């Protein structure tokens, strides 16, 4: 648990948890996005990867139709598929599944020893590959594809202390120039790529040096919208990071809470209560909590949990919690929708988040 703690433990000890006060006259909206480092080829061959996608196809639609959030929508899933392993026989059925269920595909990339030019080439190819399946949002004026991003091996902006797993110290700027509107890599603890900024949604400014996103400007109502369109600034939305004293190793040492939804650590209502205290809100904004979880749902030990009884129990517990807690509301959203809600809150929007799901970044187009 303490591996790599020098990056985040002191900031965590200084971090002030959000008090959770819920009542009919003090409503609270939890916006939940499961951002999947979706790598079906990670530990298997093409046949095994196709089996994983087929399992999602067979199971996910029924799960979506069986559970509804406070707005009547079923669960959403964001598949961050690695562009360096593009395979049409995997992307085509995944795109169909997303169009059927309201889930979405975004960009994931593992790379090493790149230059600015080689990284741009990889991103532009990946964008074109995904767009050919009707994936990714589009800019309303230009029609250019836009995307959310997760960096493979956590090494965003050449942040790994070994100097490996990236190679491009101005990566934030490159991402912005190629259409990226948000990064959702973090948290990465216990990995050494973890930033000293934790439990935040913030704008990081590219300074040309590795790990420019270690610190940044927290999103705030009427203060930070001017940073949205600057090519040297990138929005980051982090998931929860802290210590879970309710779940201890050997009954003594608190376990790390980093928002991972895995086979060994599935989501639970107990963990959800901790996420409510850790996860970011927009400063001075609506009472919306942005809960970004991560998983590796292309691996069988994890997707059997995500598509099985443990996850369904979590959905049932959420529904029960909402029914017995007047003023509490929860919303299943994609990575794109979560980003839209951050910007809506930044612009002072209030009420139900369900009104603002397509606020700035539109749904991917439906191919004819």
The 10s digit of each residue's pLDDT in 210-266 is 999 999 999 999 999 999 999 999 999 999 999 988 877 766 778 899 999 999 899
Domain assignment present for residue 133? The answer is: yes
Q: What does the pLDDT average to over 269-278?
A: 97
pTM above 0.85, yes or no: yes
Pairing mode, strands 233-237 and 201-205: antiparallel
What does the CA dihedral 78, 81, 87, 92 come to, rounded to 10 degrees?
Answer: 10
Per-residue pLDDT at 310 exceeds 60: yes
What pLDDT, on the 0 to 100 scale, is given for residue 3? 61
Number of domains making up the chain: 1
* Percentage of the chain lying above the pLDDT 90 cut: 88
Q: How far apart are CA 259 and CA 272, in angstroms?
A: 9
Q: How far apart are CA 94 and CA 44, in angstroms?
A: 18
Task: Please report which confidence band the pLDDT of residue 44 belongs to, taking 50, 70 and 90 as the band edges.
Answer: very high
The CATH number assigned to the domain holding 236 equals 3.20.20
The verdict on whether omega for the bond into residue 211 sits within 30 degrees of 0, i.e. cis, is no
Pairing mode, strands 180-183 and 328-332: unpaired
Helix (H, G, I), strand (E, B) or coil at 175: helix
The answer to whether the beta carbons of residues 151 and 209 sit under 8 Å apart is no
Domain assignment present for residue 21? The answer is: no
Q: What does the pLDDT average to over 15-36?
A: 92
Question: What are the DSSP E strand ranges found in the chain?
Answer: 28-37, 78-82, 104-109, 137-138, 145-151, 180-183, 201-205, 217-218, 233-237, 242-249, 253-257, 288-295, 328-332
Domain assignment present for residue 365? The answer is: no
Domain assignment present for residue 367? The answer is: no
Task: Please report which confidence band the pLDDT of residue 80 belongs to, taking 50, 70 and 90 as the band edges.
Answer: very high
Kindly write down the DSSP assignment for every residue of 242-265, as one continuous string: EEEEEEEETTTEEEEE--B--SSS
Per-residue pLDDT at 147 exceeds 60: yes
What pLDDT, on the 0 to 100 scale, is given for residue 1? 46
Q: How far apart are CA 98 and CA 77, in angstroms?
A: 8
In order of 69, 116, 273, the CA distances from 317 in angstroms are: 11, 46, 12
Q: What does the pLDDT average to over 35-63?
A: 97
Domain assignment present for residue 120? The answer is: yes
Per-residue pLDDT at 4 exceeds 80: no
Q: What does the pLDDT average to over 167-176?
A: 98
From 8-12, 296-300, 319-323, the region with the lowest mean pLDDT: 8-12
What pLDDT, on the 0 to 100 scale, is given for residue 2? 57
Domain assignment present for residue 364? The answer is: no
Task: Please report which confidence band the pLDDT of residue 368 belongs to, taking 50, 70 and 90 as the band edges.
Answer: low
The answer to whether the beta carbons of residues 221 and 166 sit under 8 Å apart is no
Domain that holds residue 264: 5-15+28-356
Task: Please report which confidence band the pLDDT of residue 346 belongs to, taking 50, 70 and 90 as the band edges.
Answer: very high
Domain assignment present for residue 147? The answer is: yes
What pLDDT, on the 0 to 100 scale, is given for residue 95? 97
Average pLDDT of the chain to the nearest whole number: 95
248's tokens: 């201890």
Domain assignment present for residue 58? The answer is: yes
């Amino acid at each position: 648990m303490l591996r790599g703690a020098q990056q985040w433990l002191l900031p965590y000890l200084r971090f002030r948890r959000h008090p959770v006060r819920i009542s009919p006259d003090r409503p609270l909206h939890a916006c939940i996005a499961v951002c999947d480092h979706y790598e079906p080829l990670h530990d298997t061959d093409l046949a095994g990867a196709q089996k994983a996608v087929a399992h999602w196809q067979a199971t996910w639609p029924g799960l979506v139709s069986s559970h509804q959030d406070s707005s009547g929508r079923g669960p959403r899933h964001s598949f961050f598929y690695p562009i360096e392993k593009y395979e049409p026989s995997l992307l085509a059925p995944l795109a169909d599944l997303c169009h059927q269920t309201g889930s979405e595909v975004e960009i994931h990339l593992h790379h090493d020893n790149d230059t600015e030019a080689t990284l741009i080439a990889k991103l532009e190819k990946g964008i074109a590959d995904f767009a050919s399946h009707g994936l990714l949002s589009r800019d309303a004026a230009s029609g250019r594809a836009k995307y959310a991003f997760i960096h493979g091996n956590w090494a965003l902006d050449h942040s790994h202390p070994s100097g490996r797993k990236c190679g491009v110290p101005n990566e934030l700027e490159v991402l912005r120039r190629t259409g990226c509107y948000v990064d959702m890599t973090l948290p990465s603890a216990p990995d050494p790529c973890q930033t000293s900024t934790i439990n935040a949604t913030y704008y990081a400014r590219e300074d040309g040096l590795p790990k420019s996103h270690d610190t940044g400007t927290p999103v705030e109502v009427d203060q930070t919208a001017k940073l949205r369109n600057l090519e040297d600034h990138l929005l980051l939305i982090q998931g929860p990071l802290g210590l879970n004293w309710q779940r201890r190793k050997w009954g003594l040492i608190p376990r790390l809470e980093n928002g991972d939804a895995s086979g060994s650590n599935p989501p639970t209502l107990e963990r959800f209560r901790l996420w409510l205290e850790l996860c970011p809100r927009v400063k001075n904004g609506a009472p919306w909590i942005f809960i970004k979880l991560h998983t590796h749902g292309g691996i069988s030990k994890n997707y059997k949990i995500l598509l099985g009884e443990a996850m369904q129990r979590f959905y049932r517990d959420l529904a029960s919690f909402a029914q017995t807690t007047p003023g509490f509301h929860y919303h299943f959203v994609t990575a794109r929708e979560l980003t839209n809600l951050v910007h809506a809150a930044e612009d002072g929007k209030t009420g139900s988040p369900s009104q603002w799901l397509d606020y700035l970044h539109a749904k991917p187009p439906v191919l004819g």
